[in-house]
Chain A
Amino acid sequence: MSVLPAGMPRPVAEADTLDAPYWEGTRAGELRVQRCRVCRGFQWGPEWICHRCHAFDLEWVAVAPRGRIYSWERAWHPVHPTLRDHGPYIVVLVELPEAGGVRMIGNLVGDPMQAVTIGASVEAVFEPHDDATLPFTLVQWKTTASLL
């Protein structure tokens, strides 16, 4: 059961392959981000160069799929035809303290009218879309009791 109905825009890796390892990772149930082999800094979103030390030597590492809500919004107006008659949904921006504080966008699983707290702990929920022509997996988030 996906958070948003089928028919939303489907992600595909960039033609230049920059972000392909991320999307391959989600299919394998892993949350991967870039990490510089030289200065060891995490980097997200993906880029060809490390913004800290300018090395072109970035590897993809699986990081702990948990974090805390950095910001959020409840969207009401349907900007895509698929969302017509769907009702509100929550988008969260999640900070990953165990991966250098990089941030990820996803939906918050559960009641769309739930109260959302900035700073709340969340963990990733992998949402496969196996029936798509080019199957893909989204990364959603659900709140957890534990504090990081």
Chain B
Amino acid sequence: MTPRECSIRARVAIVGVGETTYYKHGRAPEAEFALALRAILSACEDAGIEPRRIDGFASYSNDRNDPSRLAAALGLPELRFSNMQWGGGGGGGSAAVGNAAAAIAAGYADCVVVFRALAQGQFQRFGSAPPGGTVSGEAALTFPYGLISPAQRFAMRVMRFMHDHDVRQEAQRAIALASYHHAQSNPRAVMHGRPLTAEAYDASRWIVEPFRLYDCCMENDGAAALVLVSAERARDLRRPPAYLLGVAQGSEYRNAARGHNAPTYATASFTTVAPHLWEMAGLGPKDVNVVQSYENFTGGVLMSLVEHGFFAPEEANEFLTFENLIAPRGRLPLNTSGGNLAECYMHGLELQIEAVRQLRGESTSQVDGARVGLVISGPMVTPVSSMLLGTEDTL
């Protein structure tokens, strides 16, 4: 069998999506575990599935909400699949969906929930230094020099990429403006009612060059969940299924070499991953109607789109304009819910949910006739992942 023939392509679908209210960082009114439960129940309600039918969970980035505790709390008759995608950051967002789909396709479980919950006010924040006076290992090579936060870690890669290909700041700005624009029509978005202008972007402070404030994701509290079942079962449910056409995860040769020694340095880590995605789906960039691309930082989106083949690095300035990136009829509508920059930093899982809404025709920034959606998860970390979803008529 070819990789495509033995793959999960068209065999599994997302049939329910759910999220809690999205809160500013530290503002969630209840415990992180309670948020996770609410998102899961919301996704089941959306799918029209009795929650006790869940028999598996998949998540990523060391989510703190253990499937066994979830299964006990929800009174599940049995837990058949429990899976954590290794790797920090949001790189595992699409991989977790792929892992859940693989479990269903292989018969390990029938109904798997992919979830992510964050209440950073109750735990350590991402964008601040951890407590403690000493560091060792990889951190010892960078923290003493003030290279500590994710923004600082990834600015180094993006600076090199922009240098190599003469990419202008305006290319990053267009990505930020598109996310904020889409958030203005999305009542769930934390930045709903807080539009961003090009002038405000240009006047915003540097976090770390080449990232201004608006190039950086928010940090938020909340939870999000998706329900997956086999394609066969999906057709009996009430919502139009969003079929998985392909998923790929991984990263390049020695991507994790310590102290910024990855040989292929100025990338989002997708140069080896994206070709597997396209091969599994039997599709290419031209087939994609709408893209949700994880914005830890806008420069990561930029490189992700290059590595998925939407344009060459030298075309970035020309391609990445506000007009090209907005729904309903831009050349490549991007982050149509507002994404990590302006909807909610739900560690990217809000992007998977938005991809489903686009295929259902229910986005608050709907792309005309969206049939194929791409989700790209967690650029510049390792491993990263991406996935393609399609409507029934794409199978």
Q: A36 CB to closest chain B CB, in angstroms?
A: 15
**Residue from the list A12, A45, A83 in contact with B258, Cβ < 8 A:** A45
Q: How long is the Cα–Cα vector from A45 to B152 in the complex, in angstroms? A: 19
CB-CB < 8 A to A106: which residues of B?
145
Query: Does B141 count as interface, using CB distance less than 8 angstroms?
Result: yes
In the complex, are the beta carbons of A15 and B148 less than 8 A apart? no
Q: How long is the Cα–Cα vector from A97 to B24 in the complex, in angstroms? A: 46
In the complex, are the beta carbons of A19 and B137 less than 8 A apart? yes
In the complex, are the beta carbons of A71 and B156 less than 8 A apart? yes
In the complex, are the beta carbons of A45 and B128 less than 8 A apart? no
CB-CB < 8 A to A44: which residues of B?
257-259, 261
In the complex, are the beta carbons of B144 and A138 less than 8 A apart? yes
In the complex, are the beta carbons of B207 and A77 less than 8 A apart? yes
In the complex, are the beta carbons of A118 and B160 less than 8 A apart? yes
**Residue from the list B133, B145, B147, B149 in contact with A10, Cβ < 8 A:** B133
Q: A93 CB to closest chain B CB, in angstroms?
A: 5
Q: A105 CB to closest chain B CB, in angstroms?
A: 5
**Residue from the list B144, B149, B260 in contact with A8, Cβ < 8 A:** B144
Q: How long is the Cα–Cα vector from A75 to B142 in the complex, in angstroms? A: 13
Query: Does B37 count as interface, using CB distance less than 8 angstroms?
Result: no
In the complex, are the beta carbons of B259 and A76 less than 8 A apart? no
CB-CB < 8 A to A134: which residues of B?
134
**Residue from the list A45, A91, A102, A104 in contact with B146, Cβ < 8 A:** A91
A11-B135, A45-B138, A45-B261 as given contacts; A73 in contact with B156, CB under 8 Å: yes
Query: Does A103 count as interface, using CB distance less than 8 angstroms?
Result: yes
CB-CB < 8 A to B210: which residues of A?
73
Interface residues on B, range: 35 or more
A75-B152, A104-B259, A105-B259 as given contacts; A91 in contact with B137, CB under 8 Å: no
In the complex, are the beta carbons of A46 and B258 less than 8 A apart? yes
A44-B261, A76-B208 as given contacts; A9 in contact with B141, CB under 8 Å: no
Q: How long is the Cα–Cα vector from A3 to B163 in the complex, in angstroms? A: 26
Total CB contacts across the A-B interface at under 8 A: 142
In the complex, are the beta carbons of B144 and A74 less than 8 A apart? no
In the complex, are the beta carbons of A80 and B148 less than 8 A apart? yes
Closest to B258 in A: A45
Q: How long is the Cα–Cα vector from A105 to B259 in the complex, in angstroms? A: 7
Closest to B164 in A: A118
Q: Which of B78-135 contact A (CB under 8 A)?
A: 127-129, 132-135
CB-CB < 8 A to B135: which residues of A?
9-12
Closest to B129 in A: A80
A49-64 interface bits toward B, Cβ cutoff 8 Å, 1 = contact, 0 = none: 0010000000000000
Q: How long is the Cα–Cα vector from A106 to B128 in the complex, in angstroms? A: 20
Query: Does B165 count as interface, using CB distance less than 8 angstroms?
Result: no
A45-B138, A71-B156 as given contacts; A79 in contact with B149, CB under 8 Å: yes
Q: B167 CB to closest chain A CB, in angstroms?
A: 13
Query: Does A131 count as interface, using CB distance less than 8 angstroms?
Result: no
Closest to A75 in B: B208
**Residue from the list B128, B137, B259 in contact with A79, Cβ < 8 A:** B128
Query: Does B209 count as interface, using CB distance less than 8 angstroms?
Result: yes
Q: A11 CB to closest chain B CB, in angstroms?
A: 4
Q: How long is the Cα–Cα vector from A4 to B128 in the complex, in angstroms? A: 17
In the complex, are the beta carbons of B138 and A91 less than 8 A apart? no
Q: How long is the Cα–Cα vector from A15 to B134 in the complex, in angstroms? A: 12
Q: How long is the Cα–Cα vector from A9 to B145 in the complex, in angstroms? A: 9
Query: Does A130 count as interface, using CB distance less than 8 angstroms?
Result: no
CB-CB < 8 A to A73: which residues of B?
147, 152, 155-156, 159, 208-210
Q: A76-B209, A77-B149 are known contacts; what are 13 more A-B pairs with Cβ within 8 Å?
A: A3-B145, A9-B139, A10-B133, A11-B136, A12-B134, A45-B259, A71-B157, A73-B209, A73-B210, A79-B148, A80-B146, A103-B261, A118-B159
Listed by A's residue number, 17 A-B pairs whose Cβ atoms lie within 8 Å are A4-B144, A9-B139, A11-B134, A11-B136, A12-B136, A14-B140, A45-B257, A45-B258, A72-B156, A73-B209, A75-B147, A75-B209, A93-B160, A103-B260, A105-B141, A105-B142, A106-B145
When A and B form their complex, which 10 residue pairs have the shortest distance between CB atoms, in order from nearest? A45-B258, A11-B140, A71-B160, A9-B143, A80-B129, A73-B155, A79-B149, A45-B259, A76-B206, A9-B135
